[in-house]
Chains A and B, each alone.
Chain A
């Protein structure tokens, strides 16, 4: 049994707890949260040992790994403390407020020799995994341009302030929403290393951006457009998509549907010339416990298997999340010149 403790039982934390609670190889040894009410419910109905001080929790419960699902600004100090104690860490995205903090943690994790993972769950979505496989195999030739998009109804009116509306806590569309798209592009093609222009626009929020539009580049000369808006209520829930144009074809994919066009007679097994459509149902492995998308269960199972040494542990490492933080910071910096 892998002994797990969790810090931060908010929306993502509860989702993680539920999936962890159903995992056959996990024992939840402690939960830490600042809300008295949440703690009482978890103690009374789930029977978890709860704490308000995460250091005390770690000292008392000796977990093999800790899940960190607190506002972004706390990731750095908490993860650093956990790494000092050589504890395996799963932390929510985005990783840190800036790439300086991220690289420090990535290096600390490497030095400590512990398993480290960040919750960019899109990498466990069947369609996006297949996009990566196709791109890495050169199936659509040389990549020339891409478009990464995400739209959804998070902030659709002027409303009360939470940590998500505070830039110093890691709020805003770029950090919270666009990070998913940037991380996907970084993984599927290569890390975004330049930004030629970007607009961070507030629509309803007072202090943070509600949309991000950026013209970006990758070292190899590939160009791309990032277009993300979390104030778009024409979407029922977050919709993330990538379009990748290559010399031999084109890929359009979201989390449900993958469309690939092959120009010529060279195409991978299972595909044909012209348009091909595949659905996530064909590309997804079943999970042992389903809560809100196979990818959420799959990323946790992957982390647990990394801790027990059953996989190569190379998805969503701190190192990859640091590169994403670097790309985010480029886009942010460029926007201040506008």
Chain B
């Protein structure tokens, strides 16, 4: 995975601290062209991975990308499914069974209900697989090396102890899409334990990591401990703590944590995108230099006598 990944919250008026800002964003990104323009700025800044929900409007964006294969040659999308509000609204309107009937392609669910037959466990895993297929349709022909389960679903299943669906998702994504499964969660330590127990080692997990303890369930300390153990490939999200921390301070904190493979951020303006990329690069460079200095010091102290003996 690339060090910096571009997110999509700003495109869909998701703002964790201000309804006013979210309104402004929804006006700014009313047209798909505004989204593409911002994506192009991100690409020009050296970011080639876009992580996005399976929102209806992403289908349009995918179409634009497909039409210009040369320009988007190195461009990758990490789909995150499902777009939870779509299903939440459907459940309010249609109930759980009605929602499944509406969103699972084909007659599979209807025939299940009509037949009145006893469902066997495999049926439910199959329903999940069909739903994954439905969500993946819009990405046809686009490079999607990692496919994520959204946090509301990951965490709902986690709390319900429905670990088989989490494992089932991982297996299916590998087998059908030849992609790495990823999980978004607000409960990193708990999820990691469950995935490991289900036989998924070193999973890709995207989770809140920030200086102010925002959405880090159980507290920052246990997250930092989990990171030090290096048991998973982490994408840090919500690094600005929902906007509560100044960007430079926030990025310094997260850049200096161990075992964070990627940092996910979203921004609307050219200046913010470029500043964020530069700041992360600056801290990464500093860390690299610090490592080299430390290595050289080690070499000076121990390495030469050893090699002399040899």
A residues bordering B, Cβ < 8 Å? Answer: 10-11, 14-15, 17-22, 35, 37-38, 40-42, 44-47, 153-154, 159-160, 162, 164, 234, 236-237, 239, 241, 254, 256-257, 279-282, 286-292
Contacts and interface: CB of A to CB of B under 8 A. Distances in A.
Nearest to B161: A46
Given A22-B190, A153-B89, A45 B155 contact: no
B224 to A, nearest CB: 14
Given A21-B160, A289-B187, A37 B119 contact: yes
A281 B212 contact: yes
B160 A289 contact: no
Nearest to A47: B161
Contacts of B91: 10-11
Contacts of B266: none
Interface string B19-41: 11011001000000000000000
Given A10-B95, A18-B157, A35-B97, 12 more contacts: A11-B88, A18-B160, A21-B160, A22-B187, A22-B190, A45-B164, A159-B93, A162-B93, A234-B23, A289-B190, A291-B155, A291-B156
B145 interface: no
Interface residues on B, range: 35 or more
B89 A286 contact: no
Interface stretch (B43-51, B225-233, B240-248): B240-248
A291 B154 CA distance: 9
Contacts of B96: 10-11, 35, 37-38
Contact of A18 (B22, B97, B155, B218): B155
B187 A237 contact: no
A125 B217 CA distance: 16
B16 interface: yes
Contacts, number: 128
A291 B16 contact: no
Contact of A288 (B12, B18, B89, B218): B218
B165 interface: yes
A17 B219 CA distance: 22
Contacts of A241: 19
Nearest to B164: A45
28 contacts: A10-B96, A11-B88, A18-B155, A18-B157, A21-B159, A21-B160, A40-B118, A46-B160, A47-B161, A153-B89, A154-B89, A162-B93, A236-B12, A239-B19, A256-B18, A257-B17, A257-B18, A279-B244, A280-B242, A281-B244, A282-B244, A286-B213, A287-B217, A288-B217, A290-B215, A291-B152, A291-B186, A292-B152
B121 interface: yes
Interface string B112-134: 01000011010010000000000
A259 B216 CA distance: 25
Interface in B62-90: 85, 88-89
Residue among A40, A153, A164, A241 having the largest count of chain B Cβ atoms under 10 Å: A40
Given A236-B14, A286-B216, A290-B215, A160 B93 contact: yes
A20 B161 CA distance: 11
Contact of A44 (B26, B121, B155, B186): B121
A37 B104 CA distance: 15
B95 A45 contact: no
B162 A281 contact: no
Interface string B235-261: 000000111100000000000000000
A297 to B, nearest CB: 8
A292 B241 CA distance: 16
Contacts of A282: 244
Given A256-B18, A286-B216, A46 B162 contact: yes
B85 A236 contact: yes
Nearest to B96: A38
A241 B18 CA distance: 12
A15 to B, nearest CB: 7
A286 B217 contact: yes
B234 interface: no
The 3 closest A-B pairs by CB, nearest first: A18-B159, A290-B186, A281-B244
B94 A160 contact: yes
Contacts of B157: 18
Given A37-B97, A290-B217, A17 B160 contact: yes
Nearest to B214: A281
Contact of A286 (B13, B23, B219): B219
A49 to B, nearest CB: 13
B156 A15 contact: yes
